[in-house]
C-alpha cells in the first residue's frame, strides 16, 4: 500500500471559522465529499457548497444541547478503519460506514473562557468532548487519515490542498499526528489546572504552546527555548533579541523591583508593581548574573540611579537595570555613561529614548503590568522541585524585637531593604 494518501472525504467540526472559507472552496474544487456538524454545517451550506450533516450519517440527532453530536460508531469507524486491513474494510461495508480521510477540528476555547472570568457553568460547557475524541482518533490512524487539530494548522492544510492537490505523505501525516496530541495534551492540562486551583492534587502539569527559540541556551552549544508570551511582559523599544541569560536576569530584576510598592498603589502579590510620571519615590536595581549588585530607593530617579550605581560600580558593567519609575532625560544621560545590556522601566520620556537608543544592540524594554508566576519549578536530579513563589513583602509590622533596646525608625527602614534582596 502506498504511503501517499489522497483526500477524498473530510469531516469538519470547528469552533473558529476564520480562514476556513478558502479551505472549504479548495476541498470542493478537488471533489472532496464534506461532512460537518452544527455551526460548521451551516457555514459550509451558506457558501453554497454541498455538505452532508453528521446526523444524516449516524441517523441520530444532536442531543443534550449539542453535547453529543459525533460520538457514534459510524463517525469513529470511518476515521479509525484501517484501509490495509481487509476485516476492517468488510465491517465498514457491512455497517455502511463511510471512510473519512481528513478530520478538521478546532476545539472550544476553554482557556479563553477561563481567562474571561466566566461563570463555572460557562467554563464547564467549554470542555470539548467530541472534538478531542475526533482529534485523538484521526491522529491514532495517521497511516490513513490527515488530522488538522486546530486553526493554527489551517495554513498547513491549505498548502496541502493547493500545492499537492490534497495528497499527503506518511511523514506529513505523522507530523500532524504529533501536533494533534500536543493540542489535546495541552487542552487536558489546562482543564486539570483549572480544577486544581481548588482541589490541590499533588500532580505536576506544565504546558505551554508558545515557543520562542533563542539564539542558544546558557552556552553556545546548548539549545534554548522560552515558552511563554514575552509580549505580555515587555514591549521591546530597541535592541537585539533577548537571550537565555538575558531572560534569567530580567526575571531576577522583575522579581526584585516588584518588592518595591508604587506610591498610592497597593502591591498585588501576583502582579508587577510599577510607578511612572510624578512619582513620590523611585527605586532602581542593577542585576548581574541574577544577583543584585546595587539597589536604591530615593525621592527622585536620578538620585536612586546614582546610589544604586555606587553599590558596586564594577559589577554593574554589562548588567541589567530596572526601575519602577518613568525614565527622564537627565537620568537617561547618566545611565548612558555605563555599558549595560538591558534597561527595563514602565515608561520613558521621548528625549530619554533618543539618548538610550543611540546604540542599536542595547535592549530597552517597557515593562507591562502582567501577572507573575506564583510557583517556582526547577529540574533536579531525576525529577522536579516545586515550591510556592516567595511573594511576601515584609513590612515593619512583621518585625518582633526581642531585645530591650528598640530600633529607630531609620534603622527599621534600613533593615527592610536587604530583606528584599
> Quick check: helix, strand or coil at residue 299?
coil
- DSSP for residue 152: G
Distance CA 246, CA 251 (A): 9
Task: Give alpha helix (H) positions in 211-320.
Answer: 230-233, 244-257, 301-311
Q: Following CA atoms 24, 29, 34, 40 in sequence, which dihedral angle do they give, to the nearest 10 degrees?
A: 20
- 221 carries an active-site annotation: no
Distance CA 275, CA 281 (A): 9
- 200 carries an active-site annotation: no
Identify the helix (H) or strand (E) that includes residue 23. helix 21-29
Catalytic residue among 289, 299, 359, 368: 289
Q: How far is CA 21 from CA 44, 47, 152, in A?
A: 8, 8, 15
Hey, what's the cell of 96? 455502511
Distance CA 237, CA 240 (A): 10
Give Cβ neighbours of residue 30 (< 8 Å, ≥ 6 apart). 7, 161, 165, 166
Taking the alpha carbons of 298, 302, 305, 306 in that order, is the dihedral positive or negative?
negative
Catalytic residue among 8, 17, 126, 140: 140
| Contact in structure between 274 and 253 (CB atoms under 8 Å) | no
Q: Following CA atoms 121, 122, 123, 129 in sequence, which dihedral angle do they give, to the nearest 10 degrees?
A: 90
The interaxial angle of helices 170-199 and 130-140, nearest 10 deg, is 140
Residues annotated catalytic, as ranges: 140, 289
Amino acid at each position: 500500500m502506498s504511503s501517499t494518501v489522497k483526500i477524498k472525504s473530510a469531516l469538519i467540526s470547528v469552533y473558529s471559522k476564520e480562514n476556513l472559507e478558502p479551505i472549504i472552496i479548495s476541498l470542493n474544487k478537488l471533489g472532496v465529499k464534506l461532512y460537518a456538524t452544527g455551526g460548521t454545517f451551516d457555514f459550509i451550506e451558506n457558501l453554497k457548497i454541498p455538505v452532508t450533516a453528521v446526523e444524516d450519517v449516524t441517523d441520530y440527532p444532536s442531543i443534550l444541547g449539542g453535547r453529543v453530536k459525533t460520538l457514534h460508531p459510524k463517525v469513529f469507524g470511518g476515521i479509525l478503519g484501517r484501509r490495509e486491513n481487509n476485516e476492517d474494510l468488510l465491517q465498514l461495508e457491512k455497517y455502511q460506514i463511510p471512510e473519512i480521510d481528513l478530520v478538521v477540528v478546532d476545539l472550544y476555547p476553554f482557556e479563553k473562557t477561563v481567562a474571561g472570568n466566566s461563570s463555572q457553568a460557562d467554563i464547564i460547557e467549554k470542555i470539548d468532548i467530541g472534538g478531542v475524541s475526533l482529534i485523538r482518533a484521526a491522529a491514532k490512524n495517521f497511516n490513513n487519515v490527515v488530522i488538522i487539530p486546530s486553526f493554527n494548522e489551517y495554513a498547513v492544510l491549505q498548502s496541502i490542498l493547493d500545492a499537492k492537490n490534497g495528497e499527503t505523505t506518511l511523514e506529513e501525516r505523522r507530523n500532524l499526528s504529533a501536533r494533534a496530541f500536543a493540542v489535546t495534551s495541552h487542552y487536558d492540562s489546562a482543564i486539570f489546572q483549572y480544577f486544581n486551583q481548588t482541589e490541590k492534587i499533588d500532580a505536576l502539569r506544565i504546558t505551554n504552546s508558545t515557543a520562542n527559540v533563542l539564539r542558544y541556551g546558557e552556552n553556545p552549544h546548548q539549545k534554548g527555548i522560552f515558552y511563554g508570551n514575552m509580549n505580555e511582559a515587555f514591549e521591546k523599544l530597541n535592541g537585539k533579541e533577548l537571550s537565555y541569560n538575558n531572560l534569567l536576569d530580567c526575571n531576577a530584576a522583575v522579581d526584585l523591583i516588584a518588592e518595591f510598592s508604587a506610591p498610592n498603589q497597593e502591591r498585588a502579590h501576583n502582579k508587577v508593581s510599577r510607578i511612572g510620571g510624578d512619582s513620590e519615590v523611585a527605586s532602581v536595581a542593577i542585576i548581574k548574573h541574577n544577583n543584585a549588585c546595587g539597589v536604591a530607593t530615593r525621592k527622585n530617579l536620578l538620585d536612586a540611579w546614582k546610589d544604586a550605581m555606587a553599590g558596586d560600580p564594577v559589577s554593574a558593567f554589562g548588567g541589567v537595570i530596572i526601575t519602577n519609575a518613568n525614565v527622564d532625560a537627565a537620568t537617561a544621560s547618566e545611565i548612558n555613561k555605563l555599558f549595560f545590556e538591558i534597561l527595563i522601566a514602565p515608561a520613558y520620556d521621548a528625549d530619554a529614548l533618543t539618548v538610550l537608543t543611540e546604540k542599536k544592540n542595547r535592549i530597552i524594554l517597557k515593562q507591562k503590568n502582567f501577572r507573575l508566576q506564583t510557583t517556582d519549578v526547577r529540574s533536579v536530579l531525576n525529577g522536579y522541585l516545586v515550591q510556592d513563589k516567595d511573594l511576601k513583602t515584609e513590612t515593619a509590622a512583621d518585625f518582633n524585637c526581642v531585645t530591650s533596646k528598640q530600633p529607630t525608625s531609620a534603622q527599621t527602614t534600613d533593615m527592610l531593604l536587604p530583606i528584599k534582596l
